[in-house]
A and B are shown apart, each in its own frame.
Chain A
Amino acid sequence: MPQRLQADTAMPDILDQLAGIQPDSALAELRARRADVTRYTQGSYDALLAPTDLAGVSRAERALIALRVAILNASPSLREHYRQQLAELNVPATTVEAVEHFPAGNGLTARETAILHHVDLLTNEPRAATPQEVETLQANGLSVRDIVTVAQLIAFMSFQVRTLVGLQLLAEAK
């Protein structure tokens, strides 16, 4: 397969790790047939969770958003992945706990609270969104670019959750 010639396609990505896909397995071979999908899935992850230019959304805020989507989708492996990322970013455990129990928890800033309300709406009921939500985010200091980034990240997470499930089902069936 010509894709195999490119070194980066042989590198296990985050979904391989989370779905437990071994490098020489049939499923790894199957994913290699969609090397572009794998490459740009990882590229999207990198661009949204750990970009070179963060603009107005910190790495910690990005990881908090991702954790919240993992929780809402009851995805144990992604939840663990983003909890670990938050620990590496030295985010206080109290903040992580507040995200776990949102909106019941305490200790979040007004800005974090506004962002997490947005995460819950976009994840659970995107059809209910109105211009008011983006105005609320602007009132909490997010620029237009930041709001685009936050929406991309929340929506990407819906993609990541589902792609991981599909891979896990195929892995189980093997």
Chain B
Amino acid sequence: MTTVQRSFTIDPVDWNAWLDTIDIAAATPEQIAVLEESTPTAKTSPYYLLLVHDVDALRERSRLFNAVMYGQKGLARADRELASVAVSRINGCVYCASVHAQRYAQLTKHPEVVQRIFDEGVDTALDARSRAIVDYCVKLTHAPNAMVAADLAPLRAVGLNDLEILDLTHVAAMFAWANRLLQTLGEPVHKEA
């Protein structure tokens, strides 16, 4: 018996699909190839086994996701994870928030930062750099087309250059995408022991 995970947590969470996933034993070679390049655990992940129904869309999306999250130089990995957590917290995506809170904690050794974002929301006290990053994520998530060039000023004030701002935009936009898939094709559940 599975239980839906409704509250934000840094602990690992599972995800159940609301629709039939593909049978890996009956997958086409193309589907196998796309799963293998998506992420190491894709062949046992209900999320990827569902998305691979549309194999071309998943191939492009996985390559994009990996380029956005792991591209060399530019925005620090920890800042990308912070942005992922912030957007997921705003959109209410418990699954994405858990995965990326764990990565943030691994990179920074500061799990209390993401824990506070979970407990108190994105307005919680943060250092100046994190504050500017999270504020940009809030604006881009809620009302992107109400933004103006002056909204970049706080990012520049804490030292972000154009490449870092572009990276941050890509991450926040990527989680606008990811959250909507995880939240509308299935649900987060307590991880089985």
Contacts and interface: CB of A to CB of B under 8 A. Distances in A.
Interface of A: 26, 30-31, 33-34, 36-37, 40-41, 43-44, 46-48, 51-53, 55, 73-75, 121-123, 126-127, 129, 131, 133-134, 144-145, 147-149, 151-156, 158-163, 165-167, 169-170, 172-173
Given A30-B163, A166-B169, A51 B151 contact: no
Contact of A161 (B60, B145, B148, B178): B145
B169 A173 contact: no
A173 to B, nearest CB: 5
A159 B144 contact: no
Nearest to B176: A158
Contact of B19 (A73, A134, A163, A170): A134
A36 B54 contact: no
B67 A34 contact: yes
Contact of B183 (A48, A127, A144, A170): A127
Contacts, number: 166
B60 A40 contact: yes
B128 to A, nearest CB: 20
Interface residues of B, number: 52
Given A122-B180, A144-B19, A169-B147, A163 B169 contact: yes
Given A37-B64, A40-B63, A162-B176, A48 B18 contact: no
Contacts of A172: 148-149
Contacts of B173: 158-163, 166
Interface of B is mostly: helix
Interface of A is mostly: helix
A162 B64 contact: no
Interface centre among B71, B144, B167 (most CB of A within 10 A): B144
